[in-house]
Structure 1
Amino acid sequence: MSGKPGDAGDRPLTDAERHAQGMRVRREVLGDAHVDRATASITPETADFQDFITRTAWGDVWSRPGLDRRSRSVAVITSMIAHGHEEELAMHVRAGIRNGLTREEIVEIVLQSAIYSGVPAANTAFRIVREVFATLGD
């Protein structure tokens, strides 16, 4: 790709191209099993939302060249801790590992977040991180 992020040559990506790009990035970051479960559970009520997430979050933002995926994972994990999004935190801890973060780095992210997001948020995050790590084995 050349030009601005999201451009295909000299033209902006179509919605279909953004969706395809988003699905590719989403699978690379979250893994096929997670994406397959998410797409299998799409209902008429959630179809437009899932399309929006795929095109916008994954096809646009996660596809930008300004940050590598490790850095994006640090930002997302921190945001999930700050906002108390526990289910999403577990998913993005797993994604962070797929993106090259070490367990030690994830622990440091949670510790750093305790200062800015609060001790209770970090306490919950440490519980979730331990649970995720336990599912991954050594």
Structure 2
Amino acid sequence: MTGTDLPGAERNGVVQPDATSQEIYDGGMVVRREVLGAAHVDRANANKDEFTDDFQDMITRIAWGGIWTRPGLTRQMRSAVTITAMVAHGHWEELAMHIRAAITNGLSRDDIKEILLQTAIYCGVPSANTAFKTAQQVFKEMDSATMDAPAPPN
């Protein structure tokens, strides 16, 4: 079941008054896979253990099921806000992940550049400097992966 299958989903995403925890988790997992990619989510799940299992469950249900399924903002806007938050708090690994997600969500490299320029003013130039370096590295990795990919058959 996805967020749009539930009554009132247009207002609250998958978090409905009668939604089960499993429905919220499942809806969050759908969005998490769409935004971050199945490979990333599969790695995160493969690496969880008794210590991290509750954390992985929480972020799937609350962040992805509770927030990312809400229709109030586009995924592009959610990515812009998330990138800004990562810069503001200096979460560089998460920033790299969310830059990739922003591309998946339809933001262009120019959009991301403009977001990072905005962060220079409101989060500080040193943070934006690191963010630009992080984005450069992500784009380099993405370009390299594209160049290394086998050509599609004719």
TM-score bin (small chain): over 0.9
- TM-score normalised by structure 1 residue count: 0.95
Identity, in percent, stands at 56
Paired position in structure 2 for 1:33:
39
The Cα RMSD (Å) is: 1.2
- TM-score normalised by structure 2 residue count: 0.85
1:108 is aligned, of 106, 114, 118, to: 114
2:7 is aligned, of 2, 8, 24, to: 2
Deviation string 1:83-123 (CA, Å, 9 cap, x unpaired) is 00000000000000000000011011111100000000000
Post-superposition shift, 1:43? 1.0
Instruction: List aligned pairs for 1:19-98, cutoff 5 A.
Output: 19-98=25-104
Paired position in structure 2 for 1:126:
132
1:99 is aligned, of 98, 105, 128, to: 105
Segments of 5+ residues of structure 2 without an aligned counterpart are 1-5, 147-154
AA in 2 matched with 1:105: D
In structure 1, distance between residues paired with 2:111 and 2:94? 18
- Please give the secondary structure, in 2, of the residue aligned with 1:12: coil
**Paired positions, count:** 136
- Please give the secondary structure, in 1, of the residue aligned with 2:83: helix
Post-superposition shift, 1:7? 5.0
